[in-house]
Structure 1
Amino acid sequence: MTILNRRGVLAAMLAAPVAGALFGKALAAPAATQRLQVSPERSTDLMVWAPAKPVAVALLSTGHGSWPERYEGLCQTLVAAGFAVLAPLHVDSMHHPDRETFDARAGFMERLADMRATSAEAARRWPGLSVAAVGHSYGTLISLCLGGALAYMAPFRDPTVKAVLGWSTPGKIPGLVAPPAYAGLAVPTMIITGDQDLVPTFVTDWHDHLFPIETSPAGGKYAVTFAGAAHDLISGQPKAAYDAALTYSAAFLKASVLGDAPAKTLIDTAAGPGETWLRR
């Protein structure tokens, strides 16, 4: 973890209050909330959306400063596709009571700890079910780590994760996301972005969101860019792009995690208006 200490990259990255301004009013409460023991010293809230009989599990990591309830639309879409969705409240969330006690480096490590504990809880509740990692923005970076990214820093890979779905990314972060950042990302991955997907200071060129797909090993890699969509696409606007992105999210996970042939055909051939696809 010397890279984080030496360069203080995350401190700069997380200084901007990006996520807090991204969404409209909070949506409905999740199906259930329980306490998740992350370590002997810390626990957090875990939000769970689940169908009666899940066929797979999605581990959701939220954007910086955000909280799970704000992803209700995506979560309900995945539930309708048969996935149980588990999302911990990260320490950088504006809803976390101890937010101010964690600096940027600690927040990064605690996010990863949250996801390890969430993965263990999923295995306990639904043993044997396949698992995907899902994220938005900063949460996408965490999910990519679970899929094998940033292996030059530490072994973040969660071997239960069979695919990664990310809505936007935090971009090419100097000192953290180096050129080989995604060399170890061998699982199927989809990134959803837009040609207005910019984050002041961190993402000044929306093409940076394609970096994980462009530089990871080929095979099962997808990116779809929606014309006119920005970093807050996950909040529901533009509606046509949001609805399409939800459809593609469910199809990608069904194809890559469950081996659903019609879903794979959809993501292999989709070419809707205002969409630009990258497939590798």
Structure 2
Amino acid sequence: MTDRRAVLAGGAALVGAGLIGSARAAAGVRAPPATTPGPTATGAAGVLTIEAAPGRSMDVHVWGPAGEAGTILFSHGAASSPRFYDRVLRPWALAGYRVFAPLHVDSTEHPRTAEFAGLASWRARLEDMHALANMVRREGAGTAGWIAAGHSYGGLTALTLGGAGATAPDGFAGPLSRPEAACVIALSPPAPIPVLITQEGYGQLRVPAMVQTGTLDIVPGITATDGEGWRSHLAAFEAPAPGGDRFGLVLEGVDHYFGGAICRHDLPGPMQLDRLADFNSLSVLFARGFGPAGQDDARRDLRDRVADRGAVRLSTR
């Protein structure tokens, strides 16, 4: 299985060796092919195929009902796949959200992944999410707006949809953000990487956001490895000016993959399921409070959970 920690190995590797190519070369193997999701596989209701860009189609995995609570667009981590996020996406679906999660070209399960080395995958991710947003608009599933969400590389993708000033990749035309993005849920987004985004770029985030990390969320090549490196995942929480309804969530003893519960099911564990349940609960409160519906009681409940001590530390600014 590809070591996804090597996928985001720093700005120099992004330009020189390629964002995804270096990780695959190191692993020398591909992940097993995905199966069509269903109630017995991931809980996804099915898969849609849409055009992401001229000459390139995209599979979109769908969780949830018609979206009584709202719509979430989710971007998976580098080299991963939507099917490795059922423990995040299913709780959102059970809370009434319809979740659309595309399979990006940097996934080891994508049939054309070799064609998108280096920053070509960044352009393709943005194309994917904009194509998905256009589909949601045409179908009327997000007429009141939607929530952008993602993990790691996908967290950066989601934050960019919400206005964070990422670096525009060569060949991408038009705005990077979307006005329909009402808020962002970002699990462990990367520390600033100059060829993708700077600290100042994170500071341009224009919508409410929940940014999550854990005290074991150390990614060699991206974060410092001195035991405090996990804090850099909070850049998107700390960089914007105060007063924008941003929440920073720190989970004690949680690593980049919740012990293999998300993104990388090949890890030996143990899975950090208690803290993942805490994230699920708080992210639903955030979505209800700051998504298009904007429920005042959910906002109050979430602010009541703010705490600077314990296994679940929630800050706001």
TM-score in terms of structure 1 length = 0.88
Deviation at 1:46, TM superposition (A): 0.7
1:224 to 240, 246, 249: 249
Deviation at 1:7, TM superposition (A): 6.6
Aligned partners of 2:167 and 2:104: how far apart in 1? Answer: 24
* Helix, strand or coil at the partner of 1:158: coil
* Helix, strand or coil at the partner of 1:114: helix
Aligned runs of 1:165-244 on 2, under 5 Å? 165-204=185-224, 205-218=229-242, 219-233=244-258, 235=261, 237-244=271-278
Alignment coverage as a number of residue pairs: 272
Please tell me whether residue 149 in structure 1 is matched to residue 171 in structure 2: no
Kindly tell me: are residues 269 and 52 of structure 1, through their superposed partners in 2, closer, same or farther at Cα, counting changes over 3 Å? same
What is the one-letter code of the residue matched to 2:42? A
Aligned runs of 1:34-45 on 2, under 5 Å? 34-45=48-59
Deviation at 1:185, TM superposition (A): 0.6
What is the one-letter code of the residue matched to 1:135? G
2:280 to 246, 250, 261: 246
* Helix, strand or coil at the partner of 2:252: strand
Aligned partners of 2:197 and 2:66: how far apart in 1? Answer: 39
User: Is the 8 Å Cα contact of residues 89 and 99 (structure 2) preserved in structure 1?
Assistant: yes
Kindly tell me: are residues 146 and 127 of structure 1, through their superposed partners in 2, closer, same or farther at Cα, counting changes over 3 Å? closer
2:296 to 261, 272, 275: 261
Aligned partners of 1:208 and 1:238: how far apart in 2? Answer: 21
TM-score in terms of structure 2 length = 0.79
CA RMSD of aligned residues (A): 2.6
* Helix, strand or coil at the partner of 1:35: strand
Aligned partners of 1:50 and 1:33: how far apart in 2? Answer: 12
User: Is the 8 Å Cα contact of residues 30 and 48 (structure 1) preserved in structure 2?
Assistant: yes
Kindly tell me: are residues 178 and 127 of structure 1, through their superposed partners in 2, closer, same or farther at Cα, counting changes over 3 Å? closer
* Helix, strand or coil at the partner of 2:104: coil
User: Is the 8 Å Cα contact of residues 80 and 107 (structure 2) preserved in structure 1?
Assistant: yes
Deviation at 1:202, TM superposition (A): 1.2
User: Is the 8 Å Cα contact of residues 172 and 203 (structure 1) preserved in structure 2?
Assistant: no
Stretches of structure 2 that go unaligned for 5 or more consecutive residues are 1-10, 36-40, 169-173, 263-270
Identity of aligned residues (%): 30
User: Is the 8 Å Cα contact of residues 19 and 119 (structure 2) preserved in structure 1?
Assistant: no
Stretches of structure 1 that go unaligned for 5 or more consecutive residues are 1-5
Deviation at 1:167, TM superposition (A): 0.8
Deviation at 1:240, TM superposition (A): 1.5
Deviation string for 1:127-184 (max 9, x for gaps)?
5232010000000000010011125647311111000001101222144322311232
User: Is the 8 Å Cα contact of residues 278 and 312 (structure 2) preserved in structure 1?
Assistant: no
* Helix, strand or coil at the partner of 2:179: coil
Aligned partners of 1:157 and 1:7: how far apart in 2? Answer: 25
Deviation at 1:225, TM superposition (A): 0.4
User: Is the 8 Å Cα contact of residues 194 and 229 (structure 1) preserved in structure 2?
Assistant: yes
Q: Which has the higher strand share?
A: 1
